[in-house]
Structure 1
Amino acid sequence: MLIKLLSGDTPRSGLLAVLLLVILISLAFAPFLFPGTRSLETAAKICIFIVLVASYDLLLGYAGIVSFAHTMFFGIGAYGTALALSTTGPTYGSMIWGTAAGAIVAAVFALAIGLFSLRVKAIFFAMVTLAIASAFAVLVSQLSWLTGGEDGLNYSIPREFKPAFKLVDEKIFDVRINGKLLLYYLVFFASLILFLTMLRIVNSPFGRTLKAVRDNAFRAEAIGYRVVWYRTTATVLSAVMAALAGSLLAIWLRYTGPATTLSMEIMIDILLMVVIGGMGTLYGAVIGATIFILAQTYLQNLMGVAAEATSAIPLVSTLVAPERWLLWLGVLFILSVYFFPSGIVGRLRAGRT
């Protein structure tokens, strides 16, 4: 049954299979294994970014398309849900139609970009998407009457997903079963379903043809495949998945703003996660997103502990000072690219016995 869900694309590495299983179990039981608000926030962010990074890998790793507009689709999904909840109230209907509207708008934008821009060379397409994404971010910031501008939108969600809601009065394994926990499992299972859907897509005849187009577009077109159609379809599918990830983030945060969805920093983070995990694998999205977000969240704390432990050694304690965490995050990225040029998943698969 599991092999059927994975569409035959097994990890193909014992160590990789163990890592994926550990991540799956940790996320599935995160509220019980790692109690605390910060741990739950981190686990939810990992779930959402696994979907977002996998959707970008579908575009970059499988279709060979470099785009800088992915956060635009992410933002469209988030703002679609946010606007629905803020205008029509905190109902399940608002969540559903807002999510659907965001996905549809993202698909339309992606279709337009694909049809008008995918005939140009890769670098020019990347520049076109960068210009469109920048213009969209400026537009969202300017339309304060609709989007809240730079301040963003705050809204409410159904009461069953709020921390004050209690499903049962008694704690289970010292964890309160409240609305926040229910919301986390909504995010977890939705992310799992979306990831498995993308895994089946890339291992379908469509996905295999997409890889053939990526490897040699001229040959694929010569034998009868419509290259533009395949690339445009991949762009639309990737955009829809990114929009759905944005909707999950909007529901989880109960806030949507340019800084949380549309910033270039998020786009760079997505690229880093794809490269660290391994392009063209989808499993790389799981590994890359988990490692990167854990480093973002806890590296500064770990460096604080290291600085205290080496306080008697002036030079070392200065180098590992918590305020230098971004420097060491960059060093870790450089080392990962140097030792894992094909990503962690690629290296593990190449070294399997």
Structure 2
Amino acid sequence: MLTRLLSGDLPRSRALTVLLLLVLFYLATAPFLFSGARPLNVAATICVFIVLVASFDLLLGYCGVVSFAHAMFYGIGAYGVAIAMHTLGPTWTAMGVGALAAIGLSVLLSFLIALISLRIKAIFYTMMTLAFGAAFGALVMRLSGITGGDDGRTFRLPQALTPAFRLVEDEVLGTAINGRLLTYYLVFGVSLLLFLLMLRVVNSRFGRVLEAIRENEFRAEAIGYRTLHYRIAVNCLAAALATCAGILMALWLRYVGPQTTVGFNVMLNILLMAVIGGLGTVYGAVIGVTLYIVAENYLQSLMAGLSGALAAAPLLAKLFHPDRWMLWFGLVFVLSVYFFPSGVVGRLRMAVVRR
């Protein structure tokens, strides 16, 4: 049953299996294990970015296509829901209209971009996606009456997803079963389904063809596969999945802004997470996203405690000051790339093969 659920793609590493089970347990039980808003926000962010990074890996890791427009499709999903619910009101109908319109727009744009640029060379496609991403960011800023401009756009959710809504009056394990909890499990459940869908895709005949195109496009074309059609299809699929991630993030935050959705830092973070986890494996997105998000949220707190403990040594205390967390995070990233060139998942699986 488990093998079928994972589309026959088992972790193939005992250490990787343990890590994945720990992440799943954390995400499934976070509202009941931890108190406060921060741990729940970290868990929801991990859920959303697993979908976003895994969809990006469909392009880069499985098909060898480098796209810098992935954050644009993520932003389209977030803004689509936000604008629809701000305009039409906090209803399920508005949510559905915004989500469907965003997914349709993303698929159409990705189809047009791929159709125009994939016929030439990969670098041309990369430059085209970079240009489209920058243009979309500028458009978001200019259309301030619709998007909210630099301030972003806040909106309300349907009553059942608001903190004031109570599904049951009594608390369960010390946690209120309210609309905020329902929103989290909506994000978690949809993210899990999309993750399993991507596992199904990469382990299907379609996924094998994508890997063949990545390894040798000329050979794949020679044995009869229309590689352009496959590359256009995976671009549309990845864009739709990135849009779904944007929709989920907007629902969780009840806010959308240019810095959190369409900024170049978002695209850079996606790339870093994919590389840390390991390209060419959907499981790499789970590990890479979890390590990155947890480090981003808790490394500063850890360094603050360490800096206080080293107060007797002023030089070391300054070195570990929380304001320098990006320095240490960058060092950790460089070391991870050096010691895990194929990512954490790739290294763990390679160790099993060697044994």
TM-score by length of structure 2 reads 0.98
Deviation of the 1:124 alpha carbon:
2.2
Q: Specify the code of the residue in structure 2 equivalent to 1:269.
A: N
- Shift of residue 95 of structure 1? 1.2
d(CA) in 2 for partners of 1:166, 1:71? 35
Shift, 1:284, TM fit: 0.3
Question: Displacement of 1:151 after TM fit?
Answer: 1.3
CA distance in 2, matches of 1:223, 1:290: 40
Q: What residue in structure 2 maps to residue 107 of structure 1?
A: 107
Instruction: State the match for 1:50 in structure 2.
Output: 50
- Counterpart residue type for residue 350 of structure 1: M
Following TM superposition, by how much is the alpha carbon of 1:176 offset from its aligned partner in structure 2, in angstroms?
A: 1.2
The answer to whether the aligner puts 1:199 opposite 2:199 as a matched pair is yes
Alignment of 1:243-258 (within 5 A): 243-258=243-258
How many Å separate the matches in 2 of 1:158 and 1:55?
A: 28
Alignment partner, residue 220 of structure 2: 220
Q: Which runs of 5+ in 2 are unaligned?
A: none
TM-score where L is the length of structure 1: 0.99
Aligned equivalents of 1:59 and 1:343: distance in 2?
Answer: 17
The equivalences for 1:1-353 within 5 A come to 1-352=1-352, 353=355
> What letter corresponds to residue 191 of structure 1 in structure 2?
S
Q: CA deviation at 1:286?
A: 0.2
**CA–CA distance in structure 2, aligned partners of residues 146 and 8 of structure 1:** 45
State the alpha-carbon separation in 1 of the partners of residues 120 and 151 from structure 2: 37
Could you tell me the percent identity over the aligned residues? Answer: 57
CA distance in 2 between partners of 1:137 and 1:101 (Å): 19
SS at match of 2:107: helix
Q: Do the aligned partners of 2:114 and 2:125 also contact (CA within 8 Å) in 1?
A: no
**Whole-Å separation in 2 of the counterparts to 1:341 and 1:255:** 37
For 1:330, what is the secondary structure of its paired residue? helix
In structure 2, how many angstroms separate the alpha carbons of the residues matched to 1:291 and 1:34? Answer: 18
Q: Which amino acid aligns with 1:293?
A: I
1:89-124 per-position Cα deviation (integer Å, ceiling 9, x unaligned): 111111122111111110000000110011222222
The 2-side partners of 1:10 and 1:100 are apart by 33
Deviation readout 1:41-82 (Å, 9 max, x if unpaired): 110000000000000001110010001000000011111111
Contact 2:114–2:232 (8 Å) recurs in 1: yes
Find the residue that maps to 1:29 and give its secondary structure.
helix
Unaligned runs of 5+ in 1: none
Aligned-residue CA RMSD in angstroms? 0.8
Deviations 1:266-285, CA, capped at 9 Å, x for gaps: 10000000000000001000
Look up the SS of the partner of 1:194 in the other structure: helix
Return the letter of the residue paired with 1:6.
Answer: L
Aligned partner of residue 11 in structure 1, secondary structure = coil
CA distance in 2, matches of 1:79, 1:56: 19
What is the deviation of 1:251? 0.7
Q: Distance in 2 between matches of 1:306 and 1:77?
A: 40
Q: CA deviation at 1:4?
A: 0.7
- State whether residues 59 and 65 of structure 2, in contact with CA within 8 Å, keep that contact through their aligned partners in structure 1: yes
Matched positions, count: 353
Which whole-Å CA distance do the structure 1 matches of 2:122 and 2:41 have between them?
A: 37
Matched-pair contact (CA < 8 Å) for 2:77–2:103: yes
Partner of 1:351, secondary structure, is helix
Mapped contact 2:250–2:256 kept (Cα < 8 A): yes
